[in-house]
Structure 1
């Protein structure tokens, strides 16, 4: 009995040492894994910060456009307008129309553009220039074609087969549906069929 007890004591001590080594190994392994994860996270965070520092800032579009309002308005001048404003809004900023303003050829629903010149004539005034123009002329450089996406009613009336009524219908369609994608889309406008289109297709373009 005494021999058995002497033999078991070293065995238990050995097993205890082995268990202790296993536990120490597991703890060390977990600590090393945690350190590795922390190192990886730190590296990724530093890399992200470096990229954000050296990344070129995006060029922001201007929030406002500038419009020059002249003629028969209460306060002619240069005004800042929001990008979604229309001719009527620009006129309101200028104090509204005078009583003798001539408005027959003004499309109040037209969207304004940056650097737009908006001229309101008076009744009986001989209109030599276009009442309101945009920086991009509706007549393309190097050609005689009219851009039906930017042309005024007077410019549209210069096209063969287009009178005042059809010109206003084109502008109304453009206001409600946006710019024309193709010249063939012009036939979607009420009163413009294949025959009318054939007479003016060589004179128009849809550059946006």
Structure 2
């Protein structure tokens, strides 16, 4: 113990200087390490903020465009034109958006429950009017899966004029179809036409390219 005291008394100045140097060096090293870390944290914060803002902007854009369809409604309505509606809207909602039907509108030819699709054209016919073949609102036609340019006529809703436009069906056969439909109700399939006199198997086979139920 006495030897340690002698060493301390002899070298205490040097030991104190060494201790001060160690403390200062440690302080500088720790300060430098913390300083080096700060830009990284700030950079991460900026990047995270940018990503968050970018995602927010993208989400906003999606909310503004998602779930909306544009439809064009024509014919016997108060205010024909192009309207934007929710994607799950029906034809009756499009009709309401257009101010409702005119007094002479024939809504019996229109499927008001049909769901809307984007860029759909809806035509509301007047009483006694034959809707255009391309009218989607009349719901008497559907696209032919084999040829999109050949419309399919629904024999359960088609008028005589529409039936007569099909090759192989004249006035007489159109009347027979309407008479059968009135007496027996809706057709279950196109093959049921064979139950009508004048509609043989070959004739019905050809008509399948143009008729649907």
TM-score for the superposition, normalised by structure 1? 0.52
For 2:186 and 2:48, the matched residues in 1 are separated by 61
Structure 2 matches for 1:113-192, cutoff 5 A? 113-132=117-136, 138-140=143-145, 143-144=146-147, 154=154, 164=186
- After TM superposition, give the deviation of residue 89 of structure 1 in Å: 1.2
Q: In structure 2, do the counterparts of structure 1 residues 164 and 15 end up closer, same or farther at CA, with 3 Å as the change threshold?
A: farther
Q: In structure 2, do the counterparts of structure 1 residues 155 and 14 end up closer, same or farther at CA, with 3 Å as the change threshold?
A: farther
Structure 2 matches for 1:1-208, cutoff 5 A? 8-44=8-44, 62=65, 64-132=68-136, 138-140=143-145, 143-144=146-147, 154=154, 164=186
CA contact (8 A) 2:70 2:82 kept: yes
For 1:153 and 1:112, the matched residues in 2 are separated by 20
CA contact (8 A) 1:65 1:83 kept: yes
For 2:4 and 2:108, the matched residues in 1 are separated by 121
CA contact (8 A) 1:101 1:121 kept: yes
TM-score for the superposition, normalised by structure 2? 0.51
Unaligned residue ranges in structure 2 (runs of 5+)? 159-184, 190-204
Residue of structure 2 in register with 1:189 after alignment: none
Q: In structure 2, do the counterparts of structure 1 residues 153 and 112 end up closer, same or farther at CA, with 3 Å as the change threshold?
A: farther
Residue of structure 2 in register with 1:180 after alignment: none
- Give the structure with the larger helix fraction: 2
| Bigger radius of gyration | 2
Unaligned residue ranges in structure 1 (runs of 5+)? 146-150, 168-198, 204-208
User: Helix, strand or coil: the match of 1:104?
Assistant: helix
CA contact (8 A) 1:69 1:117 kept: yes
